[in-house]
Amino acid sequence: MKDIHIDVESFSSVDLTKCGVYKYAQSEDFEILLFGYSVDNGNVKVVDLAQGEKIPDEVINALSDSSITKWAHNANFERVCLSEYLRRHYPHKFLSYSINEDTVGDYLDPSSWKCTMVWSAYMGLPFSLEDVGTVLGLDKQKLTEGKELIRYFCVPCKPTKANGDRTRNLPRHSPDKWEMFKKYNKRDVEVEMLIHQKLSKFPVPDFVWDEYHLDQEINDRGIAIDVELAENAVKFDELIKAELTEEIRKITQLENPNSVMQMKEWLANNGIETDSLDKKAVNELLKTAPPKLKKILELRQQLSKSSVKKYQAMLNAVCEDNRARGMFRFYGANRSGRESSRLIQIQNLPQNHMSDLEQARNIVKYGDYVTMSILYDNIPDTLSQLIRTAFIPRKGYKFIVADFSAIEARVIAWLAGEKWRDEVFRNGGDIYCASATQMFGVPVEKHGINGHLRQKGKIAELALGYGGSVGALKSMGALEMGMSEDELKPLVDTWREANPNIVNLWYEVDRAVIKTIKERVTTTVKCLKFTYKSGMLFITLPSGRSLVYVKPRIGENRFGSESITYEGIGSTKKWERIESYGAKLVENIIQAIARDNLFYAMKTLSHCFIVATVHDEIIIEADRRMSVEAVCEQMSRTPPWAKGLLLKADGYECEFYKKEE
């Protein structure tokens, strides 16, 4: 036996979508119902565990055998479920990779597992088994009855008189459906094998599988949650929402102050017409609203703060040992290959700017709502700023938080050969000041000479590096920061004049991609290689990893110029044809190289207890003796494939997660 393809169907009363597979599998009533498998591409067999059948011994042995590769679609689910199954039913056959010093739970070693969902994502394809099968046009497709069968057998049912007040459906309650469910399980393995077969010409590089295994280890390790803080934050939120609702109701006499329609009508009756009550619209209204209406808008702004959702997500996901696991999806950002978040969405946490953060945290942790309401005018905002602090290291440890400094700005300067920018980084300068200096031809220092120009340099840096123009500056908040409409186009022109090599890079990539797609030839730009093969465009990065664009074509855009399009998951989250261009592809490439640098750093720090990654940041649950400087030095090492790239990492240590000011 060399390979085994696996798909399991299971039952648990824990909600998988809210709580994640780790908590799902810990439930006392968790059980695997069906075990579908194929050994070495042989016929698919289904073991009906729910009706007493047994998984063959050689297959049980294979699950803990590191020399046999286990395949599944979303393999994290199968690996965690089968870890729990073996622990309960075959403890003498179960082999965990965890060590006493670590908080990795007792799970099967991910290093002998591979995932067809990761492979699909690597190839620019959808995540779900059904969607991948459709896009690839497989001979066999996932059975559409599956969702209904899963609802019937895999989750608790509502007790009714008609079903004899039962809370769960078993095979005997619908033998016909059960037989169909077994066919569904078998078909899933078959589709998974067909995906494997279809993609076999384009293997995922071994080093990317190593990154996946590291990601799985981080998911297995989890991150500790201050459950007491999270629970009290939810209680505080309920109390303040009730108070705010009552206060608005007293002033407006509205039946439901949360109703957008009722609130818009009340505002209109009091002299303010508005199409929207979103954050941006309310901020605009506050500038001119009379005192009474301003008060209502401010109260409603507090009421609409959604901070409690993150705390509730933490409580949903936290396991028996108060650690949340399974928060990261490997290759979740399809275009760059970056991680994305699940369950708690750690990638978009509110920032904290409070000087008395620890004091506020302690008040919530110990449940003192009276003191909270006396000291803080805006409790929802305070709770929002405290969200990060609910992530804590285990007892006796500390967090070391380290991230790359201006990683995308450094990568694009290196790739484009914009030497003046490299000099700024080499000398430890401020890129926003240096950019403003280059653009306006005068010295700019932070809090010093011409310091007011730094903000323009910063906005330009953040908005214009990937072909952005006036619209990008506006969406970055240029007008809100006090810039006038007339300043924007000159700012774009000035930035582009100061960065001719970056501008050239956009057009070089555009020309190379168009030539590759049209003529089916390999082209190169700098250290990038563009290849067309089997109806796909491959952009090979310096690391050896490739970005893949499915069914690329050359069309015409709304300006009458040649346009690059490909098929992918668009802004609607559906599979569709997407338009692109050189600068946008450069954005994909730069973010992908930044991601490769992060994973290179994570591998060099893999002996440390990494508990999370947030954008370009690594969070380590560190021994008290470990120094921030050592971690930053390690992160700052340039990978062998990026000679000349100037990396710098900054970090700090803390007793709870926070954003250092």
Strands 340-341, 328-329: pairing is: antiparallel
240 and 193 housed in the same domain:
no
> Which of 498, 526, 560 delimits the end of a domain?
498
Q: What is the pLDDT of residues 306-318, one digit of tens each?
A: 668 899 999 999 9
pLDDT band at 11 (very low <50, low <70, confident <90, very high): very high
Q: Domain containing 612 — which CATH number?
A: 3.30.70.370
d(CA 508, CA 510): 5
Q: What is the pLDDT of residues 565-594, one digit of tens each?
A: 999 988 888 899 999 999 999 999 999 999
Q: Which residues pair with 6 in a beta bridge?
A: 37
Most confident of 301-310, 455-464, 484-493, 530-539: 530-539
195 and 291 housed in the same domain:
no
151 and 57 housed in the same domain:
yes
365 and 467 housed in the same domain:
no
Q: Domain containing 17 — which CATH number?
A: 3.30.420.10
Instruction: Say if 185 falls within a structural domain.
Output: yes
Instruction: Say if 29 falls within a structural domain.
Output: yes
Q: Residue 358: is its pLDDT beyond 80? A: yes
75 and 163 housed in the same domain:
yes
Domain range for residue 608? 399-406+593-654
Q: What is the pLDDT of residues 360-382, one digit of tens each?
A: 999 999 999 999 999 998 898 99
Of 451 and 49, the structure prediction assigns the larger pLDDT to 49
Count the domains in the chain. 4
Strands 562-569, 546-556: pairing is: antiparallel
363 and 319 housed in the same domain:
yes
d(CA 36, CA 44): 7
Percent of the chain with pLDDT over 90: 75
**Residue 629 confidence (pLDDT):** 97
Q: What is the pLDDT of residues 50-88, one digit of tens each?
A: 999 999 999 999 999 999 999 999 999 999 999 999 999
d(CA 24, CA 85): 12
Q: Residue 279: is its pLDDT beyond 70? A: yes
Nearest 5°: the CA angle 18, 21, 22 is: 110
Specify whether the CB–CB gap between 113 and 81 falls below 8 A.
no
Percent of the chain with pLDDT over 70: 100
Q: Residue 288: is its pLDDT beyond 80? A: yes
Instruction: Say if 315 falls within a structural domain.
Output: yes
Instruction: Say if 540 falls within a structural domain.
Output: no
636 and 605 housed in the same domain:
yes
**Residue 560 confidence (pLDDT):** 79
d(CA 129, CA 295): 51
- Cα atoms in the 13 Å half-sphere on the side-chain side of 269: 9
State the chain's maximal CA–CA distance in angstroms.
Answer: 82
Q: Residue 456: is its pLDDT beyond 90? A: no
**Residue 334 confidence (pLDDT):** 81
**Residue 307 confidence (pLDDT):** 64
**Residue 143 confidence (pLDDT):** 83
Q: Residue 661: is its pLDDT beyond 80? A: no
**Residue 180 confidence (pLDDT):** 96
Query: Over the chain, what is the mean pLDDT?
Result: 93
Of 450, 447, 415, 348, whose CA–CA distance to 646 is shortest?
415
**Residue 55 confidence (pLDDT):** 98
- The CA distances from residue 435 to 425, 438, 478, 491, in Å, are 12, 5, 16, 11
Q: What is the pLDDT of residues 179-203, one digit of tens each?
A: 999 999 999 999 999 999 999 999 9
**How many Cβ atoms from other residues are within 10 Å of residue 17's Cβ?**
9
27 and 71 housed in the same domain:
yes
Instruction: Say if 533 falls within a structural domain.
Output: no
Q: Give the mean pLDDT of 147-153.
A: 95
**Residue 13 confidence (pLDDT):** 97
Specify whether the CB–CB gap between 573 and 379 falls below 8 A.
no
pTM of the model: 0.93
Q: Give the mean pLDDT of 385-410.
A: 96
Specify whether the CB–CB gap between 533 and 542 falls below 8 A.
no
CA 10, 20, 311, 623 dihedral sign is positive
